Amino acid sequence: MTAIAIWFNNENPENPSLWVASDSRVSNNGNYTLIDDAVKVFALPVVCRFPGADGFFSQIGYVHTYGYCFAGSTLLGQNTFLALMPLLSNLAASQAYTPEMAYVADFIWKYLSRAFNDYKEIACKNSSVEVALFGWCHATQKQHIFHYHPDKDDKGNYIIKRTDYTDLNEKSFVYLGDDSSNMKQKIQKAFDGDSEPGRPLSRIPRYIIEEHIQNSEYKTIGGNLQLGIADQFGFRPFSICKPRVSGKSEAYLEYLGYELHQDIQNVGYAFVSLPGMI
């Protein structure tokens, strides 16, 4: 399945942000690993256009990116994201318009609910999926996390429910994935503790996810670490800066386990410029 944590980070009080950390393993119900470089955290663009002088929707009134991640069914999680991208990046209004993040979240909820209802008839218990939308809302001037998760309705049928997190503080986090109760307890306990050298509390969920990736006892959590930050400027994925030799200064940038070098760095005269994090 997966291990993903999203949390509020206030290291820069003038630009509060939401951070995300995830593993990258996809397994067959924990029996064996399928791939170890699966993308589970994405940038979801929202673009709204309005008519120009020619009458066509050629003017961009709003563009922003949110963080989007999923745990559970890879087929449903990734396919829903790929379906939402062209829909939400082609919005139109009669004039320049900034849609509230809550409206975007509601649209995703309705689409995901339809997809889940269709897929659960085919995949049954393998249709379980969790999704989160997170980022900065320009309309409310606040950070938001919207968590979509399976639950039962009054008739005992599985549906997708939505939990909204809008009043976030320095210990606020949302967890998606395996071993949920244990992972939430570990993250909360760590937040209630003290910072250590090289392990600040503001980034503590990242270290807990990383420890589980490196622990072979967790068969469904593994691969590589994925990091990203969502703030008023949008969502940005991060590469990982690693030393070539432990204790030496020479380092390289890695994304999903691959070094960003030569054949997967240059695009003509341009180059991949993901920010890196140690």
Q: Cβ(143)–Cβ(8) under 8 Å?
A: yes
Q: What pLDDT, on a 0 to 100 scale, did the predictor assign at position 127? A: 55
With a cut of 70, list the residues of the chain below it in pLDDT: 1, 30, 119-127
What is the sign of the dihedral through the CA atoms of 192, 198, 203 and 205? negative
CATH for 3-238 is 3.60.20.10
Nearest residue to 118 via CA among 176, 70, 85, 73 = 73
Mapping DSSP to helix (H, G, I), strand (E, B) and coil, where does residue 226 land?
Answer: strand
Q: What pLDDT, on a 0 to 100 scale, did the predictor assign at position 99? A: 94
Residues 199-218: tens digit of each pLDDT:
889 999 999 999 999 988 88
Q: What pLDDT, on a 0 to 100 scale, did the predictor assign at position 216? A: 84
Count of H-run helices and E-run strands, the chain? 4, 18
**Beta bridge mates, 213:** none
Residues in contact with 27: Cβ distance below 8 Å, sequence separation at least 6, in sequence order:
1, 33, 34, 219, 220
> CA dihedral defined by 258, 263, 265, 271, rounded to 10 degrees?
-170
End-to-end CA distance of the chain: 26
Q: What pLDDT, on a 0 to 100 scale, did the predictor assign at position 121? A: 60
Nearest residue to 111 via CA among 132, 70, 83, 152 = 83
Q: What pLDDT, on a 0 to 100 scale, did the predictor assign at position 124? A: 54
* C-alpha to C-alpha distance for 104 and 233, rounded to whole angstroms: 17
* C-alpha to C-alpha distance for 135 and 147, rounded to whole angstroms: 12
All structural domains of the chain with their residue ranges: 3-238
Q: Cβ(12)–Cβ(232) under 8 Å?
A: no
Residues 80-112: tens digit of each pLDDT:
999 999 999 999 999 999 999 999 999 999 999
Q: What pLDDT, on a 0 to 100 scale, did the predictor assign at position 69? A: 96
Q: What pLDDT, on a 0 to 100 scale, did the predictor assign at position 136? A: 96
Q: Decide: pTM greater than 0.75.
A: yes
For the chain, the residue count is 278
